């Protein structure tokens, strides 16, 4: 069964440069991995499954090709967890004489 249909918001992936195509001046840990990219847009293919080569139309109307990796991708960065190293700072400085 298809994972995405035409006009769905999807994310594609490309390997831009293989390790051997990257400049020699890079640190070893960077030079030894491929240079990759991800772009979002609307699926142009009729339907597609994850891992398939697809074409998308980006938010500004350009067409780009890549491997389908995600359908209706979300933003998953958040507020993090409350941090004990921060939680008491407000009370500490108010005790320090700033409180009127």
Partner 1 sequence: MKRDIRYGAVMSRKNEILRRGTGIDYQRYEISPISFDYEGLMASSQYSLEEAQRILKETGVGNTALVELKNITKLVRSVSPPGKGGRIFIKDEAANPSGSFKDRRAGVSIYQAAQLGYKGVVAASSGNYGAAVASQAAKRGLKAIILQEVYDSRKVGQPEILEKTRACEAYGAEVWQLTVGPELFYIMLRVLEETGFYSASLYVPTSILGIETLGYELAQQVLQQEGRYPDMVVITHAGGGNITGTARGLMRAGSNQTAVVGVSVDLRGLHMASDHDFNRKSFTTGHTGFGIPFLTFPDRTDVPRNCARGLRYLDRYVFTSQGEVFYTTELLARLEGIQRGPAGNTSLAGAMALARELDQEQILVVQETEYTSAGKLPSSQITFAKENGILVKRGDPGENIPGKVIVIPERAGQIRVEEMDLQKVRQSHIRNILEAAKPYLPTKEDIQFIAEDSRSNVGFLQETMKAMKVKEAAPD
Which positions touch partner 1 (CB under 8 A)?
Answer: 16-17, 21-23, 26-27, 29-30, 33-41, 58-62, 75-83, 85-86, 89-90, 92-94, 96-98
1/27 with CB nearer partner 1:
27
In 1-100, the DSSP E strands lie at: 4-5, 9-17, 35-43, 47-48, 53-57, 63-71
1/77 with CB nearer partner 1:
77
Q: How far is 82 from 62, CA to CA, in rounded Å?
A: 41
The tokens for 84 are 């004990």
CB of 6 to partner 1, least distance (A): 19
CB of 53 to partner 1, least distance (A): 18
3-class SS of residue 93:
helix
């Amino acid at each position: 069964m298809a994972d995405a249909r035409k006009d769905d918001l999807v994310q594609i992936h490309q390997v831009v440069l293989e390790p051997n195509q990257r400049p020699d001046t890079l640190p070893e840990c960077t030079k030894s991995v491929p240079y990759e990219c991800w772009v979002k847009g609307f699926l142009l293919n009729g339907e597609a499954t994850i891992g398939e080569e697809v074409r998308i139309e980006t938010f500004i109307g350009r067409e780009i090709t890549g491997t389908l990796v995600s359908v209706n991708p979300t933003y998953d960065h958040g507020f993090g967890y409350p941090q004990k190293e921060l939680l008491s700072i407000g009370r500490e400085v108010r005790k320090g004489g700033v409180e009127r």
